Structure 1
Amino acid sequence: MTELDITRILLVDDHPMMRRGLRDLLELEPDLEPVGEAGSGPDAIRLASELEPDLILLDLNMPGMDGLETLKRLRDDEVDARIIMFTVSDDQSHVLEALRNGADGYLLKDMDAEHLVAQIRQAAQGKLALSPELTMVLAEAIRERPKTSTQVQASSLTKREKDVLRWIAKGQSNKMIARKLDITEGTVKVHVKRLLNKLGMRSRTEAAVWVVENQLL
């Protein structure tokens, strides 16, 4: 029997009832584990550092430090968890800004519970989580994606860096990459942070797209 790969999730929303509902929903799933709750941006940044979750479900509209600013701060702090914006806003500018600043997904709060869980699992597997009605916005985000990373040539990466990138592109968690490469999870985290800095990227999703574009798979 194979070991179940658990996705540890931090819930960030300024409404306690929303956090409670999400926690109750996720606790029903054997592979999804809510490990913490934050009601503000500063609390989210602190808990992300303390708990090191695999995934952060982040509300957009919060008083004080909003979700976009929190997202930027998390990426500036080199938090490598997958981050999904979870909001009522389908404003195109919000979607684009979130994706450009390192979000791994953008989900609307009016989606049904089953679909939400499926999208969270998709993000946990390294894929982009996106509400269906936002697909055209994603296409525009990809077209307008900053090209700073193209200055880095695939040939400049070490063999180990390419190995890590390939597993990222296949949606593997740090834990699974460590097993595949027979190194520690801490070493994988160091590699991932260095790679994102080297490529000028803010999320694993961007890195996965870069791997496909450069035919490294």
Structure 2
Amino acid sequence: MISVLIVDDHEIVRAGIKMMIDEQPDMKVIGEAGDGQEAVQKAQDLMPDVVIMDLNLPKKSGIVAIREITEENDEIKIIALTMHDGREYIFGALQAGASSYLLKSHRVNDLLEAVRTVSKGEAYLYPNATKFLLEDYIWKSAGVRAHTLMNLSGREQEVLSYLAKGYTNREVAERLFVSIKTIESHRSKIMEKLNLKTRPALVEYAAKNGFLDFS
């Protein structure tokens, strides 16, 4: 029996997934969580085989929650189930430790197959996610690095890495033992030097340039 923890901030979504999972003879929902912080705690307490995780969560982002869960216990397999199909979300989730990335628009059978697949220690990706991974491999194999990278100081590169992985300004400040204002200043300079306007653009840049390595 595959034990499953469902994480989504919408109760109606959790209820629908739970009904679908509990109808399967080889799966059982053992818990639910409505935010990222609760997800990490319940994963530690319940030790599910598989976690189905939304990415847009209150209190703690899904990507940060994925990383914290897998760092604590890499035997727990995580399926990122989201409405976002952007490259930055896919890279963020997979490099945080997710074994699967699915969209909420996919078929019910896709999610069921993903649960069974990741519970065996294998990965399950939809075609677009696989395409992005192949493109990233080719990008890195060719040694392509944005020339603007050289304009970033060592500390700015460190801050970029944390921000791209989903940490808030406060969390980065706590990890680097500096003030939030200092992190905000670094972030502003990074965005200016790289000519980026949004956080998703920053994450995509970080993914292409090797800043999302969670090893």
| TM-score of the alignment, normalized to the shorter chain, above 0.5 | yes
1:119 maps to 114
Amino acid at match of 1:89: H
What's the secondary structure of 2:60's corresponding residue? coil
Percentage identity across paired residues of the two chains: 31
CA contact (8 A) 1:8 1:35 kept: yes
Structure 1: 4+ residue segments shifted above 4 A: 141-145
**1:64 matches 2:35:** no
What's the secondary structure of 2:122's corresponding residue? coil
2:105 maps to 110
Unaligned runs of 5+ in 2: 142-212
1:10 maps to 5
Distance 1:46 1:64 in 2: 13
Q: Deviations over 1:88-122 (max 9, x none)?
A: 00010111121112111111100111222112211
Distance 1:78 1:11 in 2: 17
1:39 maps to 34
Deviation at 1:22, TM superposition (A): 0.2
1:87 maps to 82
Unaligned runs of 5+ in 1: 1-5, 146-199, 203-217
Distance 1:118 1:52 in 2: 21
What's the secondary structure of 1:46's corresponding residue? helix
Distance 2:43 2:54 in 1: 14
Specify the structure having the higher radius of gyration (Cα): 2
What's the secondary structure of 1:80's corresponding residue? coil
CA contact (8 A) 2:78 2:99 kept: yes
CA contact (8 A) 2:63 2:93 kept: yes
CA contact (8 A) 2:69 2:76 kept: no
Q: Deviations over 1:102-154 (max 9, x none)?
A: 11111110011122211221111222111223220132455559xxxxxxxxx
Indicate how the Cα distance of structure 1 residues 126 and 141 shifts in structure 2: closer, same or farther if over 3 A, else same.
Answer: farther
Indicate how the Cα distance of structure 1 residues 62 and 201 shifts in structure 2: closer, same or farther if over 3 A, else same.
Answer: closer
Distance 1:79 1:48 in 2: 11
Distance 2:92 2:136 in 1: 9
Length, aligned pairs only: 143
2:20 maps to 25
CA contact (8 A) 2:101 2:124 kept: yes
Indicate how the Cα distance of structure 1 residues 76 and 125 shifts in structure 2: closer, same or farther if over 3 A, else same.
Answer: closer
When the two chains are superposed, the root-mean-square deviation of aligned CA atoms in Å is 2.0
1:137 maps to 132
Amino acid at match of 1:94: Y
What's the secondary structure of 2:117's corresponding residue? helix
Indicate how the Cα distance of structure 1 residues 142 and 101 shifts in structure 2: closer, same or farther if over 3 A, else same.
Answer: farther
CA contact (8 A) 1:48 1:79 kept: no
Amino acid at match of 2:90: V
Distance 1:141 1:48 in 2: 31
Q: Deviations over 1:71-93 (max 9, x none)?
A: 12212323530011110000101
